């Protein structure tokens, strides 16, 4: 029997802000119960839960470091205890540190790759073990892997790992009707993207696509919701969501 969205449960990492929060809100609006996994910002996580509940949805927040297997496993256990299982995992948690290859601080490199690479692997490992048959796993990548922009080498490398993990896991889950895809946003108006950029840089990057604007978190959440629900024939892909930038 095919599950309806009213019986499906989603875990969204990085769900307290930005794209993750909008994905959580969108999935809840479509009837899915949502577990919002966050790193440190209790207030934003509570606000995300309140927003979903105010609209009639079901949500809880769980704090976890996505690079720590025990913490991630505990988040999945919480989803099972509160809502009965896990059908959808949206892995949106990530860090972005920018600098040239010559000047990059290697401690910051290790910190970013711990979250973006190890974190993706840990979350996907737990998802592979726990997501119910017929579910979906969606990882957040980036369109800058195709652009070769100066200062983005370390970040692009970390997201290139996301593009590598997703199709392999899709094949490893053969026989369970679980799709695994990556969503690669272009420049999107989130705190992660806007921090440290001047108006000229933002304007220039908004003009990289023919539509001529930055993406909004809601634009990305729309594609995530499609992959989490009706988009069953898309599997093992990186889907570029960038207004035609690349």
Average pLDDT taken over every residue of the chain: 95
User: Rg (Cα) of the chain, in Å, rounded?
Assistant: 17
Name the CATH architecture for the domain at 5-185+217-240.
Answer: 3-Layer(aba) Sandwich (3.40)
3-state helix, strand, coil in the chain (%, to 5): 45, 15, 35
Q: Given a cut of 80, is residue 26 above it in pLDDT?
A: yes
155 catalytically annotated: yes
How long, in residues, is the chain?
Answer: 246
Q: What is the pLDDT of residues 206-215, one digit of tens each?
A: 898 999 999 8
Residues 106-129 have pLDDT tens digits of 999 999 999 999 999 999 999 999
**2: pLDDT strictly greater than 80:** no
CA pair distance 223, 183, nearest whole angstrom: 8
> What is the pLDDT, as a whole number, of residue 1?
35
Count of CA atoms in the C-beta half-sphere (13 A) of 60:
13
**The predicted structure's pLDDT at residue 15:** 97
């Amino acid at each position: 029997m095919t599950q309806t969205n009213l019986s499906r449960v989603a875990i969204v990492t990085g769900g307290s802000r930005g794209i993750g929060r909008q994905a959580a809100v969108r999935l809840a609006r479509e009837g899915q119960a949502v577990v919002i996994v966050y790193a440190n910002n209790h207030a934003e996580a509570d606000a995300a839960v309140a927003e979903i509940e105010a609209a009639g949805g079901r949500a809880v927040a769980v704090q976890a470091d996505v690079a720590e297997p025990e913490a991630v496993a505990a988040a999945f256990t919480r989803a099972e205890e509160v809502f009965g299982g896990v059908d959808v995992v949206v892995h949106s948690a990530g860090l972005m540190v920018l600098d040239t290859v010559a000047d990059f601080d290697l401690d910051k490199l290790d910190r970013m790759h711990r979250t973006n690479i190890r974190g993706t692997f840990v979350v996907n490992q737990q998802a592979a073990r726990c997501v119910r048959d017929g579910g979906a796993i969606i990882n957040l990548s980036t369109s800058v892997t195709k652009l070769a922009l100066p200062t983005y080498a370390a970040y692009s490398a970390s997201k290139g790992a996301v593009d590598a993990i997703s199709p392999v896991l899709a094949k490893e889950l053969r026989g369970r009707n679980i799709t695994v895809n990556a969503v690669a946003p272009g420049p999107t108006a989130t705190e992660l993207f806007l921090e440290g950029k001047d108006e000229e840089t933002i304007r220039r990057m908004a003009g990289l696509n023919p539509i001529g604007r930055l993406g909004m978190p809601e634009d990305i959440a729309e594609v995530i919701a499609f992959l989490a629900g009706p988009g069953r024939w898309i599997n093992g892909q990186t889907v570029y969501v960038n207004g035609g930038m690349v």
